[in-house]
A and B are shown apart, each in its own frame.
Chain A
Amino acid sequence: DTGVSQDPRHKITKRGQNVTFRCDPISEHNRLYWYRQTLGQGPEFLTYFQNEAQLEKSRLLSDRFSAERPKGSFSTLEIQRTEQGDSAMYLCASSGGVTLYYEQYFGPGTRLTVT
């Protein structure tokens, strides 16, 4: 297990198109998170899953955004009708397993550019 992986690493799309990103967490982790990071800002929380249940959701997550984790393993984040303001780095993180302290392990991110 090489850590959290995300696919694709880069995505360029035209405004109005739909995009989907995938995140594979560390295998024994039951918690999975999505964040968005724009230039000059820190990561901003979008949503959180414990197993397959989506337990927290930010107001940043508009109706055009939807996230799933159908079997409690990998997760997908879909953005419908993309807008230029959606251009950002989308980060996935996972936590859980046999760890003494809470720690979120981050993936490399998917950079989305909306033209």
Chain B
Amino acid sequence: AQRVTQPEKLLSVFKGAPVELKCNYSYSGSPELFWYVQYSRQRLQLLLRHISRESIKGFTADLNKGETSFHLKKPFAQEEDSAMYYCALKNTGFQKLVFGTGTRLLVSP
């Protein structure tokens, strides 16, 4: 069965500190991995996808198939990064997303 695990419910850091939000998955095939973000009073939106290997708002995420992980990283956190972050997995050939339980990132000044 597909499963996405985000072990931290809350991650609290100071502005300028590095951030790493953990995501592990279980899936036997070749999944597509995504990070979605929800800022306060806004809708869920895509932050980045592993297939495009891009950096968005300073965030990067590398798919590690050996460790079945897709951790989200940013070297210097900003206050505006405070939000709820969800890791999600999509099966190749299917359309549904399987989400983790989310990590709330709180960046303090």
Contact = CB atoms under 8 A, between A and B. Distances in A.
Interface of B: 4, 9, 32, 43-46, 49, 51-52, 86, 88, 90, 94-102
Interface string A41-57: 11111001010000110
Interface residues on A, range: 20 to 34
Contacts of A50: 95
Given A40-B101, A41-B101, A101-B52, A107 B96 contact: no
B99 A43 contact: yes
A66 B102 CA distance: 28
Contact of B97 (A45, A55, A101): A45
Nearest to A31: B95
Interface of A: 3-4, 31, 33, 35, 40-45, 48, 50, 55-56, 58, 91, 95, 101-109
A55 B95 CA distance: 9
Contacts of A55: 95
Contacts of A58: 96
A45 B96 CA distance: 6
Q: Which interface residue of A35, A41, A43, A50 has the most chain B CB atoms within 10 A? A: A43
Contacts of B49: 101-103
B49 to A, nearest CB: 6
Nearest to A48: B95
Contacts of B96: 33, 45, 48, 56, 58
Given A43-B44, A106-B45, 13 more contacts: A35-B97, A40-B9, A41-B101, A44-B99, A56-B94, A56-B95, A101-B52, A102-B32, A102-B49, A102-B90, A103-B49, A105-B45, A108-B43
A37 to B, nearest CB: 8
A104 B51 contact: no
Contacts of A3: 43
